[in-house]
Chain A
Amino acid sequence: MARLTINGKSSEVNVDPNTPLLWAIREQVGLTGTKYGCGMALCGACTVHLDGRAVRSCVTTVSAAVGKQITTIEGLAANGALHKVQKAWVDNEVPQCGYCQAGMIMAVAALLKDKPKPTDADIDASITNICRCGTFQQVREAIHAAAKA
């Protein structure tokens, strides 16, 4: 048993504390916007925020997340309004299949928190998510658009 705070709500999860946070979020709490892609922190599809910092939830244990504020893609929009990154994603029509995009958006939202006006080099260094559809050109445009918003 562990108590997690996800998107401001407290949830009791009945799992081994070594269970990856990803699977507690998906299977215990039922929030499936956070995706499984590799299980080895390689692709970033599972990216969530832990106390505002982007982490790869497939290699973050439940026990490491206890007592921290967890934010998933479902909790990014505040008061029914899309986060500026989500809005830029819609305006620039970034997603293709969309499977990696929740993780990509979470990674970008964390980047913009640290660096509100990231350069291309900042983007290259910090956004390392895999997208097999290849949306990177639109991702970059949308990041700059979100930074201006």
Chain B
Amino acid sequence: MITKAPKVGRRSFIIGSAAVGAGLALGLKIPFGTSVVRAQDGSPEINAWIVIRPDDTVVVRIARSEMGQGTLTGLAQMAAEELECDWSKVTTEYPTPGQSVARKRVWGNFSTGGSRGIRESNEYVRKGGATARVMLVQAAADTWKVPASECSAANSVITHKPSGRTTTYGKVAEAAAKLTPPAEVALKDPKEWKLIGKSVKRLDTIGKVTGAQVYGADLKLPGMLNAAIKDCPVFGGKVKSFEADKVKSMPGVRHVVQVGDSAVAVVADTWWQAKTALDALPIAWDEGPNKQVSSATIAEMLKAGLDADQAFVRTQVGDVKSAIAGAAKKVEAVYAYPFQNHAPMEPMNATAKYTADKCEVWVPTQNGEAAFAATLAASGLPAEKCEVYKIHLGGGFGRRGAFHDYVTQAVLIAKQVPGTPVKLLWTREEDMTHGRYHPVMQAKLTGGLDASGNLVGLHLRLSGQSILAAVFPQNLQDGRDNATFQGLDPSGDFTLGYTVPNLLIDHAMRNTHVPPGFWRGVNINQNAIFLECFLDELAKASGQDALEFRRKLMSKHPKHLAVLNAVADRAGWGKPAPQGVYRGLAQMMAFGSYVAACAEISVSGDKVKVRRIVCATDPGYAVNPAQIERQIAGSFVYGLSALFMEECTVKDGRIEQTNFHNYDSMRIAQMPKVESIIMPSGGFWGGVGEPTICVAAPAVMNAYFAATGKRIRTFPLKNHGIQMV
């Protein structure tokens, strides 16, 4: 895809710096007549992915968004591996979505979710580096009038072996940029990798320890005003009226505006003034048809789905009904998983500037193109009159990917203050009550064991909310939401790791008015709890060890089994645990990677201490092991916070939790020791940011059962008086 598009020429375009807040002086006119595409500082593009400056600095363009997961560094490693450049001279920048559209999506997909940054773009990013290397070598060879085959490149230096002559990438970049890119380039065999697989330091650390890193909430533009917003507390409700006159004379207040049908914003000189006035603003809401809905009514609706005749079937093998009916022992359990908010540390925000000729948006987003689409829709302007500048995210976790409600709001506000940039920042309370929530789900699992304790039939019935039905209905397949079954699939990136002779997995879709979203790990969070806790229930019912019981079902799933065995070995499964310590296991495949965990906990009354979790992952290739370790440990914080503490309840149609006092999150005192086993087996590209999150909770719950003999099936654990210490 990169072989033709870069030589667009005869156009002017702009490149946003990765540190967008630092300058914001964007734009460079390309002199008419040249064919070399140039970056903001005038340095030549070798191709869309690689810019080389005269001082040998290598700028790698990154289309995906950095939100802490390390993709900026990982993707740069991929490009640099093939480029054969000096890693110490590598820096990165974000191309803008507007440029991407203008250049026929030369940078591919911007979406940064589903753990897909590296697993989906590794090939074309590596080709970007390889293509540039070939062109740089060719340019040097042309200068020396020797065949390129006599030249080699390493560490940003090109050498003509027969004569010993050398030059650097920076010196030949201008000439290389004028060459026609090769139609095909060969990528290295993984055995030759020098940089991929190495725990090089992240490229983006220093600004995060000095306060220099600019997040969306920190953006400053000349003449900028600040906005605070309240959307109708009941989803689907509208603004009835508001009394702007009551707050118009408050300090700093410039405008009080309605935003769409459902929200009101105050625009002021400072955000604190805007927020203070908004708190004082009388607003009457038309709460609409959903104001009677509560968690109890939703739970009833889901419960009915557990035994409904109609359901979307994902997997049907053999005859489950007969197998279970004829089984020596039948085991049945019902589980439930709540709504949860993403709660990234940086609340939702976006800055917009609108005129009739241009709409610009600055936003921390997981998907620049989706933010661009929201900008177009809200502004009513065509693509060539819109631009989006991505800013570093203060956490994403899925909230900032498919949804750009805050971008829509910011543009709708800016349209009412044309020519003035307006920064919209949500309060934590707005963020908590207007999320895109982890879907609510119940599950009924029915298993049949024969006289020897073999699992002969399993029915897993899901009942609950579909994310796709609400967000991407075009991706439903005959009405069925395949994403609901993540981790339970017959094949692909979310393959079930067990072979059961009679198996039925189906979903009674029960949607609510609460908007669902993709929440780190998405549907593997609850599916792993349902499946892996129930597997332990079956093992117990059959009098077998949880590991041995699983192993018997996993002979056709060697990669699943390998990670499970790895954690069992490292944790000492089958050997006595220290006094008062209990163990639990779980495994899953998700986002292309195989993951397993063994948790060690101790229990004292209502207090649970998660002491240690051994985790294994096989992501195919491990680009930066140190960052993978950090993603594993971090995913456990997110997953265990959810397990123990996090639930969004619905009352009178609205979310009840408003801030971290009633939607809590783990602190350092509660952090278990996490030991990571990274065991890439090669030949495929799995994700890293999300997969491991799902094994923490069931491993801990299985350990809790081992410790107490109690099986808890509804979450979070705080509802059972259980405290994480």
Contacts and interface: CB of A to CB of B under 8 A. Distances in A.
B397 interface: yes
Given A32-B218, A33-B211, A130-B665, A38 B634 contact: no
Interface in B624-646: 626, 630, 633-638
Contact of B633 (A15, A30, A134): A134
Tell me whether chain A's interface is mostly helix, strand or loop, or mixed. Answer: loop
A27 B211 contact: no
Nearest to B343: A132
B125 to A, nearest CB: 21
B183 interface: no
B345 A132 contact: yes
B666 interface: yes
A132 B272 CA distance: 24
Contact of A93 (B213, B427, B630, B635): B630
Contact of B634 (A31, A73, A133): A133
B428 interface: yes
Contacts of B720: none
B698 to A, nearest CB: 18
A28 B636 CA distance: 38
Interface string A42-84: 1101000000000000000000000000001110110000100
Interface string B249-273: 0010000000000000000001110
B215 interface: yes
Interface in B574-621: none
Given A31-B211, A36-B217, A131-B637, A99 B345 contact: yes
A102 to B, nearest CB: 5
Contacts of A26: 218
Nearest to B215: A99
Contact of A27 (B272, B633, B636): B272
A36 B347 contact: yes
Given A90-B205, A97-B68, A129-B667, A33 B212 contact: yes
Contacts of B251: 16
Contacts of A138: 630, 633
A77 B68 CA distance: 23
B209 A95 contact: yes
Contacts of A132: 343-345, 395, 397, 637-638, 665
Contact of A23 (B215, B270, B673): B270
B642 to A, nearest CB: 11
B202 interface: yes
Nearest to B661: A42
Given A40-B659, A133-B68, 5 more contacts: A32-B220, A33-B210, A97-B344, A129-B667, A137-B674
20 contacts: A27-B226, A32-B218, A33-B211, A36-B217, A37-B347, A73-B211, A82-B209, A90-B206, A90-B209, A94-B209, A97-B392, A97-B394, A97-B395, A97-B396, A130-B345, A130-B666, A131-B637, A132-B345, A133-B68, A134-B635
